[in-house]
Structure 1
């Protein structure tokens, strides 16, 4: 395994155009995961085995870490930066930039234009709290302050007809007022625009004429479906993070192009697919789970490799842990996700995120209770053992105290750890306040963090109608291997996988992903009487949009696939279930019969009951169009666990003194 951690200067960009692609040399594919603590790279040259690289993240300028890592990769391959860039055929990256912008409230100054009478919907939300039984929960501060929320006299009716046209004179006054207030982004969300986007498009056209510098988000483009608050909240999030994310993408594109990159840069989206930069910049809300989604794609690919379709993904990095569920080879996707207190209703891989990672800080409160996370030591100072000025104990420090980390071989030996600093931090901040030994305090830290992770796994699987004991646990991320056994014991999971690529599986997942576009159209009707010809027309129209995009990006029809689903519910309920749509080439009676059966079956799986005598309602039709990208495989040795077991003697590196209730000399093996 080639692991590099470097803050070296960026590769020299002088004369990037002098390097020309050499068709005789194999092309290079690069997957990049820009995390909060480290930035990971997976590099595949032709049909060679992947090579793995790491470099420290640069939170103040995330693209700097990407450029630093590319310099390391070029040096490792004996190439100049220009030569490396000229041979890249696939460049895919995922990032936490959009997520951090929202969570840290560092987004754009946003103005909102909505229908008269709906100014305060962003503050009223749905009349509910995210944690509805928490009486002390602080209300979430709206992303758009009330003075910047403007209403317009216009109205589209519930059948899509125009009730009242846009008052253009009033619109000009609103735009002037927002410009004077210094907004850099505008969200437009009109009532029933998902049925008729005419008024939103008129507003957009006026904004582009008068203020072309403003970042623009239309709800009819971001989320053209029913439920006013869902559409408004999602559009507001897009407007809030969009300018920051677009600037980041533009900077990375300029820097990579300056080094000679000719291929397109693709970015990971929250639904598990990838998309070009221009689409990603406009649909920034799709990047909220960009990095973690790559890990899930990597887990799906690894599951195919080893023949495991039912997996729980356990992705533990330096800052947080992401838990995902994969059933029959497909990750669970949800249209209802909360991030930073805001509802995001675009399709996203269903993840449960915990503020617990290798850098999570342990502390004892005034009542003598030990807590771990969500505060993190971060990428700059890091855990105490890094010797960069951090003096608070972290999960990494606890692992070092107990002997689970080799202080001389951290990140391939490029970063040396300092056990004395870990012991002092754990002793002073945890052991002494609790009256414990340093070793027992370190064990307590790990017990708290693994218990939280086990509960997160139970919550996610049970909420989706599953039982964690029926799944295998796949660990990846830089810190997962140290904790996966304890988590498996606490959840009753009997089988655990730890790939050799685990520390960079999210970056590998980028290379295992395909281009993907999701489309939705609300269409409310009873399944018993729905006009199936209209369903076919709407589905064909949505699929056609995606197919046209992929053809324009150079994909052949044989590499394009389409999948149809629908959000459905019983008549007396308000929450929907996503169900696969039967083959629309069947006759109408067969479609209705099979569709109803699929809905009842899915409902039974999720909630352990179904209602055969209840009317079934369609709410939203969905089309997912994917375009197959070149395949990058993990090393063949990952396929055969028996072969790896036969080679354990060769992989043994020595022993290390570790604490497991008593101090023991434990055998140490090379994972690769």
Structure 2
């Protein structure tokens, strides 16, 4: 067997670690509980399970692609290394002052996230580069050495360097790195001009600090993982999923670990885009709900929406501006609610609230029987009949229904005078309505009507809630692909090798400089292509060009996509026309008489996407064989109804299950509302449509 035909995808989540093995055209998967102290243990355990299922040894694996929430969790939980920041004199407090915008205008007790580094861990050096990249004040070794001596004496593991306007001229940052390398050879160093060479110092400084903060942790983890895999006999290449939806080498990931933030959910969006291509769908809402969080992503023309900035560790769950901004290329996803392990409580207004606290895998929801005594979403799903206590996770975890009922009664029912079923109903409706609300807001912000969209649901908990979510959103079609419970891990195996290079070079259309633009984009293309070529020496590489543009006086830009010809032969009339076209699509009309500015340029180099064959859809030609009935709570009638239970593996092409129904498999359970009918399509997707 050729090694390259055997590939392993691994997604470390907050509750489960998902492992998928592809051997030629066959797929084997498993879910194991995440091991927080040593995450590599769960990977090794899962790898052994799927290799046993496939009848191969780990030495036959040709490629491993990995995504993880470790970087995100380290930032949220403040578990990073002892880190110092070196910045320009006068800018020591930028990461604490933020942008001075108020995300909750009338809240007198606004709770802003604390900066990753307190003031005493931030150091300054003289020297100054201006907004055109010209040196105004020199920086010398004599200026830098005393500062580095202080940092060395304090015993810092990692150092972030963020100087003003270094994205245009990195000479001062490079000098600081040289001094650090001489005086602190064991310290890890991150330069903002390499991590995020973009304007806006708050976002740039915060990003380089985050990179430095998690760099020792991630380097240590990736090194341990390589060692454990070698011990198992696997000497294949290891690649990491990055937050922009592509794959980078383990060396690049260790150097720029901040690019791994959101890598797991990014894999899910790639997975959904692949399904959308199979069905020829141009408007898709990807819904990923796991054990800890749930996220949505708008996918248009089989391409996930992307962004240059996103936030982690929001102090107000759905409020933009309340978290730490990370300025890197990222698939634009919105956290829209809780995961299966998210815990419920009653607030001071006697309302049921869910999350953000999660039971995770240790101890897990009450029904796991591992010491959890607070009700989680999974406990509500169990009491409402959505889960089979004897066959959860393929029977590997037996659920305790009585523990779920007791926790729901103790925490919610006794306070609100409800029985366990009513408390579970309330908890589930709060979760589903929170997710529906956030999805509506995200759609409006992007000028989209969700009734025109098809939902693709994946993640262990999504198929349990997606049908109800579609009812609330007016979405008429829901697809649950095969392997939905491990969708992000499958997405890793579908993702191209890619890397996006960004640079801030400010220019107005009045001062349009075609030669400068061409030279800049050529450099960015070479940088991005070099990263991709380090991962894949043979495949052709495609380049995608974008200019981020705005009207003068506006505070934010919109991405304008350019063809390679437009990028390599820049013309001011073309740039203006493309901006006005995209601006009008987004906001309804252009603004007359305003000058137009370009702030950021980007080139994304990527290997070609996987070629997929269109599915020949089956409208439903037979009735699926039932395993029996079970009581399922129907939120529309607020009572239990008899639901048909079907094994997904027993459904042949065209087999239909009218709602209410339950389709079970090892990694998840699909709930079919009374208003819908499910049909198995030729590729194994369960296609859930409104009843005719």
CA contact (8 A) 1:323 1:456 kept: no
CA contact (8 A) 1:600 1:612 kept: no
Structure 1 residue 583: Cα displacement? 4.3
Give the Cα–Cα distance (whole angstroms) in 2 for the partners of residues 76 and 380 of structure 1: 27
Give the Cα–Cα distance (whole angstroms) in 1 for the partners of residues 108 and 587 of structure 2: 27
Q: Equivalences for 1:505-516 in 2 at 5 Å? A: 505-516=487-498
Structure 1 residue 406: Cα displacement? 0.9
Give the Cα–Cα distance (whole angstroms) in 1 for the partners of residues 237 and 503 of structure 2: 30
CA contact (8 A) 1:28 1:45 kept: yes
CA contact (8 A) 1:312 1:472 kept: yes
Q: Which residue of 1 aligns with 2:96?
A: 123
Bigger mean CA deviation after superposition, 110-119 or 166-175: 166-175
Structure 1 residue 182: Cα displacement? 2.1
Give the Cα–Cα distance (whole angstroms) in 1 for the partners of residues 332 and 105 of structure 2: 21
Q: Which of 542, 547, 550 is residue 561 of structure 1 equivalent to?
A: 542
Q: Cα deviations across residues 2-52 of structure 1 (Å, max 9, x unaligned)? A: xxxxxxxxxxxxxxxxxxxx54x883111111101001111110122x222
Structure 1 residue 627: Cα displacement? 2.4
CA contact (8 A) 1:63 1:252 kept: yes
Give the Cα–Cα distance (whole angstroms) in 2 for the partners of residues 77 and 54 of structure 1: 15
SS of equivalent residue, structure 1 residue 483: helix
Give the Cα–Cα distance (whole angstroms) in 2 for the partners of residues 130 and 95 of structure 1: 29
Question: Is 1:65 matched up with 2:65?
Answer: no
Q: Work out the number of aligned pairs and report it.
A: 637
Question: Is 1:30 matched up with 2:3?
Answer: no
User: What residue ranges of structure 1 are gaps of 5+ in the alignment?
Assistant: 1-21
Q: Equivalences for 1:246-645 in 2 at 5 Å? A: 246-340=219-313, 341-556=323-538, 559-584=540-565, 591-628=571-608, 631=610, 639-642=615-618, 645=620
Question: Is 1:244 matched up with 2:220?
Answer: no
Give the Cα–Cα distance (whole angstroms) in 2 for the partners of residues 483 and 640 of structure 1: 27
Q: Equivalences for 1:83-94 in 2 at 5 Å? A: 83-84=57-58, 86-94=59-67
Structure 1 residues 553, 432: CA separation in 2 closer, same or farther (over 3 Å shift)?
A: closer
Give the Cα–Cα distance (whole angstroms) in 1 for the partners of residues 284 and 518 of structure 2: 34
CA RMSD, aligned part only? 2.0
Q: Cα deviations across residues 473-518 of structure 1 (Å, max 9, x unaligned)? A: 1111101111111111111211111112211110000001011111
Give the Cα–Cα distance (whole angstroms) in 2 for the partners of residues 262 and 222 of structure 1: 29
TM norm structure 1? 0.91
Structure 1 residues 462, 585: CA separation in 2 closer, same or farther (over 3 Å shift)?
A: closer
Q: Cα deviations across residues 88-111 of structure 1 (Å, max 9, x unaligned)? A: 222101000000000001111111
CA contact (8 A) 1:35 1:57 kept: yes
SS of equivalent residue, structure 2 residue 325: strand
Q: Which residue of 1 aligns with 2:207?
A: 234
Give the Cα–Cα distance (whole angstroms) in 1 for the partners of residues 599 and 102 of structure 2: 24
Give the Cα–Cα distance (whole angstroms) in 1 for the partners of residues 52 and 68 of structure 2: 24
Q: Which residue of 1 aligns with 2:662?
A: none
Q: Which residue of 2 aligns with 1:662?
A: 639
CA contact (8 A) 1:28 1:88 kept: yes
Structure 1 residues 344, 26: CA separation in 2 closer, same or farther (over 3 Å shift)?
A: closer
Q: Which residue of 2 aligns with 1:44?
A: 22
Write out the 4+ residue segments of structure 1 that deviate beyond 6 Å after TM superposition. 586-589
Q: Which residue of 1 aligns with 2:164?
A: 191
Structure 1 residue 215: Cα displacement? 1.2
Q: Which residue of 1 aligns with 2:188?
A: 215
SS of equivalent residue, structure 1 residue 60: coil
Structure 1 residue 669: Cα displacement? 1.8
Give the Cα–Cα distance (whole angstroms) in 2 for the partners of residues 129 and 211 of structure 1: 39
Give the Cα–Cα distance (whole angstroms) in 1 for the partners of residues 484 and 201 of structure 2: 41
CA contact (8 A) 2:152 2:183 kept: no
CA contact (8 A) 1:518 1:622 kept: yes
Structure 1 residue 264: Cα displacement? 1.3
Q: Cα deviations across residues 636-671 of structure 1 (Å, max 9, x unaligned)? A: 9x935417x335424x33221112233322111223
Q: Which residue of 1 aligns with 2:627?
A: 653
Give the Cα–Cα distance (whole angstroms) in 2 for the partners of residues 139 and 554 of structure 1: 43
Give the Cα–Cα distance (whole angstroms) in 1 for the partners of residues 449 and 503 of structure 2: 33
Structure 1 residue 131: Cα displacement? 4.2
Structure 1 residues 279, 156: CA separation in 2 closer, same or farther (over 3 Å shift)?
A: same
Give the Cα–Cα distance (whole angstroms) in 1 for the partners of residues 569 and 368 of structure 2: 66
Give the Cα–Cα distance (whole angstroms) in 1 for the partners of residues 403 and 171 of structure 2: 63
SS of equivalent residue, structure 2 residue 624: helix
CA contact (8 A) 2:460 2:486 kept: yes
Bigger mean CA deviation after superposition, 354-363 or 311-320: 354-363
Give the Cα–Cα distance (whole angstroms) in 2 for the partners of residues 507 and 132 of structure 1: 40
Q: Cα deviations across residues 56-99 of structure 1 (Å, max 9, x unaligned)? A: 111121111101111212222334xxx32x22222101000000
CA contact (8 A) 1:26 1:45 kept: no
Give the Cα–Cα distance (whole angstroms) in 2 for the partners of residues 553 and 376 of structure 1: 36
SS of equivalent residue, structure 2 residue 62: strand
Structure 1 residue 309: Cα displacement? 2.2
CA contact (8 A) 2:286 2:298 kept: yes
Bigger mean CA deviation after superposition, 187-196 or 153-162: 153-162
User: What residue ranges of structure 2 are gaps of 5+ in the alignment?
Assistant: 314-322, 650-692
Give the Cα–Cα distance (whole angstroms) in 2 for the partners of residues 647 and 30 of structure 1: 35
Give the Cα–Cα distance (whole angstroms) in 2 for the partners of residues 458 and 69 of structure 1: 37
Q: Which residue of 2 aligns with 1:225?
A: 198
